[in-house]
Every structure is written in C-alpha cells, then in structure tokens.
Chain A
Amino acid sequence: MAYLDHAATTPMLDEALEAYVATAREVGNASSLHAAGRRARRRVEESRERVAAVLGARPSEVIFTGGGTESDNLAVKGIFWARRAAAGERRRVVSSAVEHHAVLDAVDWLGAHEGAEVGLLPVDASGRLDPAALRAELEAYGDRVALVTAMWANNEVGTVQPVGELAAVAAEYGVPFHTDAIQAVGQVPVDFAASGASALTVTGHKLGGPVGVGALLLGRDVAATPLLHGGGQERDVRSGTLDTAGIVAFAVAVEAAVKGQQEYAARVAALRDELVERVRHAVPEVVYNGDPTDRLPGNAHFSFPGCEGDALLLLLDAQGIACSTGSACSAGVAQPSHVLLAMGADDDRARSSLRFTLGHTSTRQEVDALIAALPGAVDRARRAAAYRTPR
C-alpha cells in the first residue's frame, strides 16, 4: 500500500507509542492527592514543560485538550466570549476564507447564534493571505474586532501563511490573534513566542502522537471563556480528567517532531519535489496548486483537468494508493473545496483536485506506485466525467 495521506493522520512514532503504553499501565488521576495521583500529575507537568520548551511557550501557556477541533473551538469561541464580555461592541470575528472547518464552522456558529459579525479575509491565487488586507480590515473595524484567526499552513494546498506579519498587525490594533498550526508543527519552524500569536492550536495525530490529544497554547494574559465546565483542570479554561498517557505520548511526539523538523523537511521536501516532477511528466496538463515554494514540505496538491477528484480517489484506492480530495464531504458527497474556490478556481477545477501528502514513513517506492497507477486512473476518470450531470 502507498499511504499518501499523512495530512489526514500519520503513523505514531515508536517512542510515542511506547510512552503511551508504559504510562497507560499506571493508575492515577492527575487531580488526586495521593501518591498515584502525584505520579500522574508529575508526568503531565513534565509533558507540559516539554511541549512548552520546543514550541517557544511557557508551561503555563500549554492547555491540553482533546485535539485540534477542540483547541480551535476553544480559541475562537472562548476568546470571542471573553472579549465580548469585556466590551460588548467587540463582536466581529476576522478569519481567512481558507481556514479548516474546525475554525470556519466555529466562526459561522458564532455568527448564527451569538450575534457575531464575520469578516473573511481573501487569499491570492496561491492561497496566501495578504497582511495588508488584515490591516485594512482592522483599520475599518478595529474597535469592534473580538479576535483574528488565521491558520499557519493550509491543510489542503499546503500554503504557509505569513503568520508573524499577521500577528504583528493584529497586535498593533490590540486584537488577539489565534493561529491553527495543526499542519505546521513538525513541518516548518513554529515558535509561539516569536510568532507573536495570542493562541496556537496543535494536535497529536498529525505529528506522530495519538489521536484525541492536542493543546491550545494560550498566552498568559489572553482571556478565554471555557467551553467545557467541570473540574477546571486546565487553568480553569478546560475541564475533564487529564489523559495522562495521551499527554505523555503527545509530548514525546511533539518534541521529536520539532527537534527533527529540519532534517525531516529536507528529506520529505526532496521526495515531494520528485513526486511533483513525476506527476507533471505523467500527466502534463496537471495544475499544481498552492504556493510553489512557501509550502509544507510533504504537501503536493493538483487539479487534474477533466477529472473528478472523487473518481480518481476511487481508482487509486482500488490500486492500493491512499490519497485525499482534501475537501470536506457533506453526507458523503464531495463538495467543491472552499479553499480552491477562495483561490479563484472555478467549480470544475475545485472538484478535480487531489492531495498527496508525505510524512515520516514515506518512501520512493510509494511514489513509484503512484506514478505507475496515475495515468490509467486519469484516463478512466476523464471518461467517467463525460457522464457527469452538468450543474
């Protein structure tokens, strides 16, 4: 099998899995006062320090959560509620048009249910945000903005955003800036303090840790209203018994991914470049989407003119090649990617796209398998597209 979908989830690192299993064998609730509880607490706090150390945060800024979606929701809704509570006119949420649905749908929900005003920043043809557009937005609405949220790197097309510049603009206007760095950590250098962000989302399973554990890095002076109420385990912003084994494994994975980032990026980007070159050779009319240079090392995203992405996916899957259309499904029906539409692609191009993402286990043999299967799949998908209903 050729697994070319590491952006969906990537295999756990051996050291993370071992740490998980070893910790999961131990009993202890990190909130308990007895020895077993203290041991669990110690593991959690050591993990917090490890995560903080490699991501440029203070330990107290690390809030463990149940993963990326929760972290994004906590940042977007929590900061919105806290800012609005402090000053009622701050009801505008500024986001980019290419955010992951964990951010975009949280923003939409605030608009539909909490009276939020939504400002969506456009991107250019490569999927990149322009800090000048954020400046214009804040110049026009600065006093009314509750928060700005913009991803570090795009999960579909891999474009890396100018996060430092965006955060600096937001800071000028005194507006908290959240960044969803789920796809970025371990792939590109990420330093919370240096970025100037007020909040940053990271999750375990995209970097070799377990599914179901992540963190929100939340600046010490950034107020957020909790989503989950209960024991207040995490800085009173997040409740729920701490997942000690998950947190330990997460920290091991984050540390390994960040420390190995440079070496990883060089190796994976070289393989990715080879993949891109060979795909272009095999299917000359292919369109390479995203920023050609400022992009995630493992990401290759294409449009195949005249094909439907979901037909290609089916055909490649039948040959043991796992990839993704990158876009969301609604009731199992592929929707045209909002990211590509925001980049100015038409409906056909948006539906014709396919994402291949490499990771720490990727090999040249997997690329070989893709290149062997791709031309035939493209031919068939083109023939099938002739039977598509015109929309």
Chain B
Amino acid sequence: MSGGVDSAVAAARAVEAGHDVTGVHLALARNPQTYRTGARGCCTLEDSRDARRAADVIGIPFYVWDMADRFHEDVVDDFVAEYAAGRTPNPCLRCNEKIKFAAVLDRAVALGFDAVVTGHHARLGADGLLRRSVDVAKDQSYVLAVLTREQLSRSIFPLGDSTKAEVRAEAARRGLAVADKPDSHDICFIADGDTRRFLAQRLGEQPGEVVDASTGAVVGTHAGAYAYTVGQRRGLHLDRPAPDGRPRYVLSITPKTNTVTVGPAEALEVSRVRGERPVWTGGPRPEAPVECEVQLRAHGDVVPATVALDGDTLHAELRRPVRGVAAGQAVVAYRPDPAGDVVLGSATIAG
C-alpha cells in the first residue's frame, strides 16, 4: 500500500472478496526524508501515514516492511549501472521483478500468506493470463510482463476491470481520503524528477563527443553519455546544424568511447529487436514464430510483429519500423483479444 488510491481500493476489494488481508507499506528509502518531499509520490512519511489511514478505514492490520537495502541494490544501483552502460532502464519493471513480486512475495509466503495484492491496472483472471486493463490509458501490464508464471500464480490485481475514474469514485464512496490524491508519475527515488542530475551526482561529469552518424564529424560535446536516451532530440546543444538542416536525434550511446551518436529521424528506425532473458507466460513456450503485437516502451505504440524464442533470446520482426527503441527497456508481446490483450511474454531489449 503505497499511500495512493489504487492500492487502497485494491486492498478494500480483496477484503470484500473474502480474503484475510494485511496491509504492507514498503519503506524503500534508507533515509525516509530523502526520496520525496511533498505529497505527489509514494515514498514519503506522509504517504506511509496515508496508507496506514486507508488500512484503518478498510479495517485491516497494517505494517511497514523495510525493503530499503534490497531496493537500493536491485533497483537504484541497477538503474544507475544500466544508464552507465548506455541503456535506458525501467525501474518500475525492475521493482516488480525483484521487490514487489519477489522479496515481498517470498517473505509473505513464508509468513503464511497466499498472494500479493497490488493496485496495478492489469487483469489476471482465472485462466492465469495477464491482460491489459480496461483502462488502456492507465494499463500497467507492460511493467508486469516481466513476471514469471510462478510470480503470477501468487499475484492478485483487483483493479483490472475498472477505469481509474471508477477507482477514484469507489475510493470516495468507501470513505478513503486518498480518493483525490494525484497520481505519481515520476521515478519514486528521484525526488525532484531530474534524472540527469541524479545520474550526474552518482556517475560524475564524463565529458565526451557527440558525433554525426553519416559524416563521422564531431558536432558537439556532452557532460556524460549516460544522460542520453535513444530517440532523444532535446537537450543535445549541437554546435553545428546538420547539412540538410533537419533535426537530429540520438541514435546510439557507446559507453566504451563515451560517444553519443546522432542522426536524422529515419536512422532511428528499427525493424528487428533482440531481447534477452525472455519470460513467456501466455501459454507453452512457442517452438515456432508467433504472430502478435509488441510494445517497446511504457505507454509506447503497439506494432504487429513476429516473435520467436531461441534459447535465451527473443527475436521480434516488426511489420513496420519503429523509432526510438532503447536498449534496457522491455519488449512485450501481446495477443490481441476482445477480453483484453493477453501478455504472451517479454524480454529486455539488448543493445
């Protein structure tokens, strides 16, 4: 229970469904004051009190579990290391994989609980398939697609059949004061939302060159290649305009030479994606290529594709090229379905 509206309503629904529910708030900051100030996040003392108040209203026990060390190792350090390696990580996905549905779930099961209930917007029905939420704009199946069958078998997502607006209305009806609390958007451990500064504080200044992909000419400098993401256009501060006068984008980041390579938008286009560490939960592991759709970043576009598994690698052939595919993000395969698109599997996009 983060202290937000979703987990509060999820807890209330789990109680109503007849489960014996205990509320758990995760203390993720080593120093609780450091991650966020103000009420827009999910990691402050105020959020912890909001969660406790919601648990009291629902009438369930409530505990704070200290997961700060695990979170720091598995999520924050990983986040920094991934950027340093020229990739663009998704920390929410990592937190689901390593904390909420691993460290928390393991401890809970040992204590005698059967499952972890969260307020994620995704559907997980009796068929055991993970599907998109009915609220496509709030759908979080992308950051849950990393979960294995074992993890999903001990997960409950009570909100998948409701829109965010319905969840808020229900919270108000249930007398939960968090009904109007704003959504959290940014990365919870970066208090001011300034990712570039957060990384600079940890990785230091690493000046290097910005190189044009077609000419090989140095067109600018940067203070750290880690601050760039494939597909990025803003904040390049290039000294020289491109010969054709058109905007240039980050095409790739090469940590070895500390180089950021830029080029025209067309050069961003990718038709083949390779993923590592695949997870397949939409059925038996496929022997033959599967026709499906893929999503390549959170809230990103969905494109038709053919996906094949080969050992520890996932290959996706996109039916139309996509721009801004960043290593470190997840490629998630979906099977379109009127009852909610089904997550077939996922993998981490290789660089």
- Which residues of chain B have C-beta atoms less than 8 A from A140's C-beta? none
The distance from the CB of A276 to the nearest CB of chain B, in whole angstroms, is 26
Encoded as 1 (CB less than 8 Å from any A CB) or 0, chain B from 321 to 345 comes to 0000000000000000000000000
The binding surface of chain A is classed by DSSP as mixed
Give complex CA distance A271, B61 in Å: 29
Binds A, one of B104-112, B175-183, B255-263: B104-112
* Cβ proximity bits B1-40 to A, threshold 8 Å, 1 near / 0 not: 0000000000000000000101001010000100000000
Q: From B62-70, B88-96, B264-272, give the one contacting chain A.
A: B62-70
Q: In the complex the two chains form, is B64's CB within 8 Å of A333's CB? A: yes
- Which residue of A is nearest B27, CB measured? A333
Which chain A residues in 290-349 approach chain B with CB under 8 Å?
310-311, 314-315, 317-318, 329-334
Q: Which residues of chain A from 363 to 391 have any CB-CB distance to chain B below 8 Å in the complex?
A: 380-381, 383-384, 386-389, 391
Please measure, in the bound complex, the distance between the C-alpha atom of A317 and the C-alpha atom of B111, giving whole angstroms: 12
- B61 & A317 in contact (Cβ 8 Å cutoff): yes
The complex places the Cα of A384 from the Cα of B70 at a distance, in Å, of 15
- Asked whether B110 lies within 8 Å of A333 as measured between CB atoms, the reply is no
The B47-96 residues at the A interface (CB cut-off 8 A) are: 48, 52, 61, 63-64, 66-70, 73
**Per-residue contact bits, chain A 14-44, to B (CB 8 Å; 1 contact, 0 not):** 0000000000000000000000000000000
Known contacts: A314-B22, A317-B61, A318-B61. The answer to whether A331 contacts B32 by CB under 8 A is yes
Chain B residues with CB below 8 A from A384, complex form: 107, 110-111
- With A315-B112, A331-B48, A381-B111 known as contacts, the answer to whether A389 contacts B70 (CB < 8 A) is yes
Q: What's the tally of chain B residues with a CB closer than 8 Å to chain A?
A: 23
A314 touches B110 (CB 8 A): no
Q: How many residues of A contact B (CB 8 A)?
A: 21
- Which residue of the partner chain, among A330, A386, A389, contacts B69 with CB atoms under 8 Å? A389
Kindly state whether residue B103 has any CB partner on chain A within 8 Å.
yes
Q: Is B45 an interface residue (CB 8 A)?
A: yes
Q: How many A-B residue pairs have CB under 8 A?
A: 53
**Do the beta carbons of B106 and A314 come within 8 Å of each other?**
no
Nearest CB of B to A324, in Å: 14
Q: Given contacts A318-B22, A331-B48, A332-B48, are A386 and B110 in contact (CB under 8 A)?
A: yes
- Closest residue of chain B to A310, judged by CB? B63
**Least Cβ distance of A171 to chain B in Å?**
43
The interface centre, meaning the residue of A310, A315, A384 with most chain B CB atoms within 10 A of its CB, is A384
CA distance A310 to B22 in the complex (A): 14
Q: Find out whether the CB atom of B69 lies under 8 angstroms from the CB atom of A387.
A: no
Asked if B64 and A331 sit within 8 Å, CB to CB, the answer is yes
With A380-B111, A384-B110: A331-B45 Cβ-Cβ less than 8 Å: yes
Once the chains are docked, how many angstroms separate the CA of A110 from the CA of B204? 39
Are A332 and B111 in contact, with the CB atoms below 8 A?
no
For B68, the chain A residues whose CB sits under 8 A away are 333
Shortest beta-carbon distance from A383 to chain B in Å: 4
Least CB distance, B46 to chain A, in whole angstroms = 11
A308: shortest Cβ distance to chain B, in Å? 10
What B residues does A389 contact at CB under 8 A?
Answer: 67, 69-70, 73, 103
Chain A residues whose CB sits within 8 angstroms of the CB of B20 once the complex forms: 318
Which of B22, B32, B66 is the most central at the interface, judged by chain A CB atoms within 10 Å of its CB? B66
Query: A383: nearest residue on chain B (CB-CB)?
Result: B110
Check if B27 sits within 8 Å of A387, measured CB to CB.
no
List the 9 shortest-distance A-B pairs measured between CB atoms, nearest first.
Answer: A332-B64, A384-B110, A383-B110, A331-B32, A333-B66, A387-B106, A389-B69, A387-B107, A333-B27
13 A-B pairs in the complex with CB atoms less than 8 angstroms apart = A311-B111, A314-B61, A314-B63, A318-B61, A330-B32, A331-B64, A332-B64, A333-B66, A381-B111, A383-B110, A384-B111, A387-B106, A389-B73
Other CB < 8 Å A-B pairs besides A332-B63, A332-B64, A383-B110, 9 of them? Answer: A310-B63, A317-B61, A318-B20, A331-B45, A331-B64, A332-B52, A333-B68, A384-B107, A389-B69
